[in-house]
Structure 1
Amino acid sequence: MTGLVLCEPTELYNILNQVTKLPRLTEPNYLCLLDVRSRREYDESHVITALLVKKSAGKYLIPESVDLECVEYCVVYDNSTISLELMLKDKSSDDDSADDGKHRIVLGAAVECGRTLTHLTRHPILILRGGYEHFSAMYHFFRTQKSIWMPQELDAFQPYPIEIMPGRIYLGNFKQACDPKIQKDLKINAHVNISMETGPFFVGDADRLLHIQIEDSLEASITPFLRLLCHFIDIHLELNSVILVFSTLGISRSCAAILAYLMHRNGQTLKRSWAYLKKCKNNMRPNRALVAQLSEWEKVVLGDIVTDIQNPPY
């Protein structure tokens, strides 16, 4: 048995938005998202690509189309489970009668379902903390009534920027930075553009746009801009702004910028910052020259070079 692990809403958000050449949602063995709420609630709205788990004679019936042994991520959610432990449930939620206020001890529906799946998977079953209520409140744009997704529809899915700091810092590409719907949905009000291109938002507004014009090449130097970059993001976090950091593809230059900021903000090593960003964005890949500059930035932040960048995965 692989067990159960609580999954934060930001983690599911990032899972939904991973990309290789195509959105990873197009991969049949990438994500199995299971909704254990009632049919009525599911039909009203659910998270995109989620499958309804039916219950018969007290047992959860997993959709036949799912092969959990091959799935990389299996996420289960109910309405509002926040713990893997037993919880108190008001008996009045089971019927319409007024009662004496007594409670009974139960497992959350997602946990109960998840326990029946652990022997079928090679990876831990993820239980969404806060359930659908919390996730849909944070990411309303990922709610849908659609229950069947054709391959071509998943191919056409437009991923959102990756969330680095929940509700505050996002990491994306130039196309996402030019999309007005994404700016509105994520409430973006400041940009850090690390590319040669000029985006359509905040042009001429130095308070809300930091444009670091460096090429995507091994000759590019980001070091002279790192203090300004960190100061710009710090100021906007103090102002409760929502910041999008982006480059052309969102893989190298913008990732280097995020790594530098994580090292600065948390006073931590390049290695630790790298591991965190890799968990958020699977395909992050700063070029070797940028990695070398980040190693020198580690010395500025910590007083010494700690991370050995000669070893994988750098």
Structure 2
Amino acid sequence: MSAIIDDFLYLGSLADACTPELLNKLQITHLVNLSITRIIPDESFELLHIPLRDTLDENIMIYFQQVNQFIEKCRQRKDGRCLIFCKHGRSRSAAIAIAYLIAHHGHSLSSAYIYLSKIRSSISPNRNYLKQLDKYSSQCEQVHCPSFY
């Protein structure tokens, strides 16, 4: 598991999300599950499950707003900490993390990708997700995200 934004936002895998000791150690309060596999964490976690397939025809962009709002809700809590995860923590979760960095931290697609890859070198959003992130980044530039929502 990798910390994207210290003490708040993390990127990881399904295995990370299924390791209670790790979640407790990092004081995770919110989970964004982007894998097909449904996990049932204990009731202390707030869970957003969006079952996505890592395919070249999956529309991930339609979920950017929903996930960003969930992450922001977590951030606004004094003790909120969020883990974004998919099966391996490389493609779907990385794309969602990049979308958050674009919308809420003023990154371009390129700078968000570079920032995230320095933290977690294994990221590899598929080319379909990268195309959607490029479109999203352009939309955010035009309307000055996060007011895009």
Give your verdict on TM over 0.5. yes
Alignment of 1:39-58 (within 5 A): none
Unpaired segments ≥5 residues, structure 2: 144-149
Letter of the 1:235 partner, please give it: K
Q: Which residue of 2 aligns with 1:290?
A: 129
Task: Give the conservation status (yes or no) of the 8 Å contact 1:174–1:250.
Answer: yes
Q: Which residue of 1 aligns with 2:119?
A: 280
Pairwise CA distance, 1:267? 2.1
Match of 2:5 among 158, 165, 168: 165
Provide the aligned length of Structure 1 versus Structure 2.
142
Pairwise CA distance, 1:202? 5.0
Note if 1:238 corresponds to 2:76: yes
Q: Distance in 2 between matches of 1:215 and 1:222?
A: 9
| Higher RCO structure (Cα 8 Å, ≥6 apart) | 2
Query: Secondary structure in 2 aligned to 1:300?
Result: helix
Superposed structure 1 runs of 4+ greater than 6 Å apart: none
Note if 1:218 corresponds to 2:69: no
| TM score, norm. by length of structure 2 | 0.90
Query: Secondary structure in 2 aligned to 1:181?
Result: helix
Q: Deviations over 1:259-293 (max 9, x none)?
A: 00000111221011111001101111000000000
Query: Secondary structure in 2 aligned to 1:172?
Result: strand
Note if 1:176 corresponds to 2:13: no
Task: Give the conservation status (yes or no) of the 8 Å contact 1:171–1:245.
Answer: yes
Q: Which residue of 1 aligns with 2:146?
A: none
Q: Which residue of 2 aligns with 1:194?
A: 34
Query: Secondary structure in 2 aligned to 1:164?
Result: strand
Pairwise CA distance, 1:216? 1.4
Q: Which residue of 2 aligns with 1:52?
A: none
Query: Secondary structure in 2 aligned to 1:167?
Result: coil
Q: Distance in 2 between matches of 1:171 and 1:202?
A: 20
Identity %: 29
Q: Distance in 2 between matches of 1:202 and 1:252?
A: 26
Q: Which is richer in strand?
A: 1
Q: Distance in 1 between matches of 2:42 and 2:114?
A: 32
Task: Give the conservation status (yes or no) of the 8 Å contact 1:195–1:213.
Answer: yes
Query: Secondary structure in 1 aligned to 2:84?
Result: strand
Task: Give the conservation status (yes or no) of the 8 Å contact 1:252–1:284.
Answer: yes
What is the RMSD of the two structures over their aligned residues, measured on CA atoms? Answer: 1.6
Note if 1:262 corresponds to 2:101: yes
Letter of the 1:169 partner, please give it: L
Q: Distance in 2 between matches of 1:238 and 1:248?
A: 27
Larger radius of gyration: 1
